[in-house]
Amino acid sequence: MTAAEGRGRGRPRDPETDTTILAAALELFVERGVEGTSIEQVAKRAGVGKLTLYRRWSSKEDLLAQAIEQWVRAEVTPSAADVYALTPRDIVERVLPAAAEMAASPGFRALVARIMGSAVSHPQLMAVYWRHYILPRRELAAAMLRRAQQDGTVAADADLDVLIDMMAGAVTYRVLQPDPPDATEMLRYLAAVYRQAGLYPPASDA
């Protein structure tokens, strides 16, 4: 950090304080939604002064977007190196168990509901989340799908943006339905989604 940056944004950041603040912000967002969460409440729950938050985040939406990003960072995603070195089938097998655990967790369901729920009333939150988190992952998914097109398991004329929406959309839609799946059922579900998309052909075809 340069001195000018240091002056502009207050004292240098304390990573532990940031972690505490972001965890408190995520809790409140899941409990109350974006309408029911304020910078003041996050400061109170994190046990810090509200000026600390105002110095670090320019808006509630920016704070919540970063809180969501920190939570989903634990998600298992293939690296760009994997995507270009492995077959789509191998990548799917590698990520399936952890992806199923995450997608079946109550915390994931609650967070998806709140993010989708705020998309129209607070578009800035979705915009930040989309740019920082979703778009890079869509790039990797598109690379997998182009590889599968070369292998002939995805149609050469498939619209990849639409196909990515069908995969991601199915999971977000499924976890918000009544009677959501447990991790075992979610593993079967994700395998069926990837198979339907053409990313997870039966082993004999691979």
CB-nearer residue toward a second copy: 14 or 165 = 165
Q: Which residues, including other chains, have CB under 8 Å from residue 126's CB and lie 6 or more apart?
A: 115, 118, 119
CB-nearer residue toward a second copy: 7 or 32 = 32
Instruction: Give the end-to-end CA distance of the chain in Å, rounded to a whole number.
Output: 49
Check residue 134 and report its DSSP letter. Answer: I
CB-nearer residue toward a second copy: 89 or 109 = 109
Structure tokens at 175: 């976890």
Tell which positions 61-100 bind a second copy, by CB under 8 A.
none
CB-nearer residue toward a second copy: 104 or 171 = 171
Using CB under 8 A, which of the segments 46-54, 59-67, 93-101, 162-170 binds a second copy?
162-170
Q: What is the dihedral sign for C-alpha 24, 29, 31, 35?
A: positive
Residue 134: is it exposed, middle or buried by C-beta count within 10 angstroms (0-12/13-18/19+)?
Answer: middle
Q: How far is Cα 29 from Cα 68, in angstroms, rounded to an integer?
A: 9
Q: Which of 39, 142, 143, 176 binds a second copy (CB under 8 A)?
A: 176
Shortest distance, position 1 Cβ to a second copy, whole Å = 30
CB-nearer residue toward a second copy: 52 or 66 = 66
Q: What is the CA radius of gyration of the chain?
A: 20
CB-nearer residue toward a second copy: 2 or 177 = 177
Using CB under 8 A, which of the segments 51-59, 80-88, 92-100, 166-174 binds a second copy?
166-174
Shortest distance, position 113 Cβ to a second copy, whole Å = 4
In order, the DSSP letters of 54-111 are HHH-SSHHHHHHHHHHHHHTTS----HHHHHHS-HHHHHHHHHHHHHHHHTSHHHHHH
Residues lying near a second copy in the complex (CB under 8 A): 32-33, 35-36, 106, 109-110, 112-114, 116-121, 123, 126-127, 130, 155, 158-159, 162-163, 165-174, 176-178, 189, 192-193, 196-197
